[in-house]
Amino acid sequence: MPKLNITSKEPSKRQVLVSISLTNTSKFIVLSSKHIANINRALKDIKSDFIADFIKADQQELTIITNKVVSLLDLSIIEKYIKNVDAIDLEDLMLP
């Protein structure tokens, strides 16, 4: 299970941090706009008003910038999506 943490830089923005290997980060970020659209579609299906705005990456994690505080249900949707992305090697996900 990927490690998902919620932090906030400023009151209007929220971040979901996903610890992930550099190889997986590269694979995921190539199609980041597709992933944002799919995450938002999955959230819309559960009638969430949470929206993922964009994804940025550094060497050890993906940061998903959102429009508001993320609920546990929203986190589980994002986690399920990331685990089901074909390009991600689940063995390289960093466990909590």
pLDDT value of position 1: 47
pLDDT value of position 42: 92
For 4-92, CATH number? 3.30.70
Task: Quick: pLDDT tens for 51-95.
Answer: 999 898 887 788 888 888 877 888 888 888 887 876 665 555 553
> How crowded is residue 93: how many other Cβ atoms within 10 Å of its Cβ?
17
pLDDT value of position 45: 92
CA distance 52 to 87: 20
pLDDT value of position 62: 84
CA distance 27 to 23: 6
Task: Quick: pLDDT tens for 2-25.
Answer: 555 556 555 556 788 888 777 778
pLDDT value of position 95: 38
Closest by CA position to 17, among listed 4, 29, 8, 27: 4
Task: Quick: pLDDT tens for 28-42.
Answer: 888 889 999 999 999
- CA 61 and chain centroid, separation: 10
